[in-house]
Amino acid sequence: MWTFIARRLLQSIVVLLGVTLISFIALQIGGDPTYLFVSERASQQEIEMVRHALGFDRPLYVQYLSYIGQVVRGDFGNSLSYRQPAMGLVLGALPATIELTVFALVFAMALAVPFGVFAALNRGTALDGGIITLAMFGQSVPNFWLGIMMILFFGLYLHWFPISGHVPFLQPLLQGDFVTAFKNLPRTLYYLVMPGIAVGFYSLSRNARLVRSSMLEVLNQDYVRTARSKGLTERAVVVHHALRNAWLPVITMVGLEFGFLLGGVVVIETVFSYPGLGRLVFNAVNQRDIPVVQSAVIVLAVIFVLLNLLVDLIYAKVDPRVKL
């Protein structure tokens, strides 16, 4: 196992280098950030002086190698807009995004599994058709449209939930202030309801269909028919034989789903004015704040890599046939 982990960590370094290179090139071809630092009336000579001072006049590969050297030393640069360490801004916004992502994932999986199981057990019935229709609707509508509709109906019309804002839970928890963290928890969840559902609804729909398909496949296996022929109750057959084996593809999806949701909250955080990493990156892209965008890309890439590694280890633990 340790050999597998060491090999995956080495592969991860290559992946991270590739991610930083692609994001660096993409940001560079998006325009010259020098103009963020000069006035509209600046002369060409003044622009060139600022460009030289910031190092933007150097060849692209020199800028990239210089950037990688700084990253290795733990220096991710300062934000061009906020004049603060870029990584500090990213890590400061990350807890709010993790709260939103975890809420969306729990919401999605808590409903996807029973929906998928009930649909499979009642195949061809009205219940099965209703769940499939709901899943198709969830996979068809964009999450930003769903978020806007929820703001209009549940926020502005019914006034059930706030349309923006955030009450921190992880931030005080990480600072060791447990009293404030758990005091904030009910209001944290209250503010997460609408953006969390908007983010997680697509994941709910996709995983409900995945669980349904997996359950249908497992229910037709010989060992399930054998279990039934032994006189076991239907509940015992489903819980102890069918669902346990149907979990395997779902486990893979859960890990990847967290990364997918984490990277997909940019639009929803903007719609709900949610102070997380997604809105920070959105503003940074608009302002050509390259250090902030690159720092966010590195953090998200590291989380993706670690999640994939964790999923592989859990999968091997659950299914002994898988060799690491």
pLDDT value at residue 282 = 85
- Identify the weakest region by mean pLDDT among 67-81, 84-98, 189-203, 227-241: 227-241
DSSP track, 6-60 = HHHHHHHHHHHHHHHHHHHHHHHTT--GGGGSS-TT--HHHHHHHHHHHTTTS-H
Torsion sign over Cα 92, 287, 257, 184: positive
pLDDT tens profile 110-132: 999 889 888 988 888 998 899 99
Q: pTM for the whole thing?
A: 0.82
Mean pLDDT estimate for the chain: 84
* 96-318 CATH fold: MetI-like fold (1.10.3720)
Is the per-residue pLDDT at 143 higher than 70?
A: yes
Interval 24-44 mean pLDDT = 73
- Identify the weakest region by mean pLDDT among 190-194, 262-266, 316-320: 316-320
What Å distances lie between residue 120 and 231, 235, 268, CA to CA?
21, 14, 32
Of 320 and 124, the one with more pLDDT: 124
List residues bridging with 191 in a β-sheet.
none
Is the per-residue pLDDT at 198 higher than 70?
A: yes
Task: Please state, in angstroms and rounded to a whole number, the distance separating the CA atoms of residues 258 and 296.
Answer: 16
- Identify the weakest region by mean pLDDT among 84-98, 160-174, 289-303, 309-323: 309-323
Task: Please state, in angstroms and rounded to a whole number, the distance separating the CA atoms of residues 269 and 104.
Answer: 13
Is the per-residue pLDDT at 187 higher than 90?
A: yes
pLDDT tens profile 42-58: 777 888 887 787 777 78
Q: Domain extents for the chain?
A: 10-75, 96-318
Q: Quick one: residue 259, left, alpha or beta (phi over 0 = left, psi -120 to 50 = alpha)? A: alpha
Residue 273 in contact with residue 266, Cβ under 8 Å? no
DSSP track, 182-235 = HHHHHHHHHHHHHHHHHHHHHHHHHHHHHHHHHHHHHHTSHHHHHHHHTT--HH
pLDDT value at residue 310 = 81
